[in-house]
Amino acid sequence: MTKKYFGTDGIRGRVGEFPITPDFMLKLGWAAGMAFRSMGACRVLVGKDTRISGYMFESALEAGLSAAGADVMLLGPMPTPAIAYLTRTFHAEAGIVISASHNPHDDNGIKFFSGEGTKLPDEVELMIEELLDAPMTVVESSRLGKVSRINDASGRYIEFCKSSVPSSTSFSGLKIVLDCAHGATYKVAPSVFRELGAQVTVLSAQPNGLNINENCGSTHMSQLQAAVLAEHADLGIAFDGDGDRVLMVDQTGAIVDGDELLFIIARDLHERDKLQGGVVGTLMSNLGLELALADLGIPFVRANVGDRYVIAELLERNWLVGGENSGHIVCFRHATTGDAIIAALQVLMALKARGESLAQSRQGLRKCPQVLVNVRFGGGESPVEHPAVKEACERVTAAMAGRGRVLLRKSGTEPLVRVMVEGDDEALVRAYADELAKLVAEVSA
The residue count of the chain comes to 445
Which position among 66, 99, 101, 154 bears the catalytic label? 101
Q: How many CB atoms are located within 10 Å of the residue 219 CB?
A: 20
101 is catalytic: yes
User: Do 75 and 86 meet the contact criterion of CB atoms below 8 Å apart?
Assistant: yes
> What is the C-alpha to C-alpha distance for residues 46 and 65, in angstroms, rounded to an integer?
10
Residues 6+ apart with CB under 8 A from 151: none
> What is the C-alpha to C-alpha distance for residues 176 and 213, in angstroms, rounded to an integer?
20
Residues 6+ apart with CB under 8 A from 380: none
User: Do 192 and 158 meet the contact criterion of CB atoms below 8 Å apart?
Assistant: yes
> What is the C-alpha to C-alpha distance for residues 302 and 291, in angstroms, rounded to an integer?
13
DSSP one-letter code for 243: S
> What is the C-alpha to C-alpha distance for residues 39 and 134, in angstroms, rounded to an integer?
19
Beta partners for 72?
44, 147
Three-state secondary structure call for residue 333 = coil
Please state the φ and ψ torsions of residue 211, each to the nearest 5 degrees: -100, 10
Q: How many CB atoms are located within 10 Å of the residue 198 CB?
A: 21
Question: Of 177, 240, 176, which is closest to residue 214 (Cα–Cα)?
Answer: 240
> What is the C-alpha to C-alpha distance for residues 155 and 369, in angstroms, rounded to an integer?
43
> What is the C-alpha to C-alpha distance for residues 367 and 258, in angstroms, rounded to an integer?
12
Q: How many CB atoms are located within 10 Å of the residue 177 CB?
A: 25
**C-alpha angle 72/77/82, rounded to 5°?**
80
Beta partners for 147?
72
- Residues catalogued as catalytic: 101
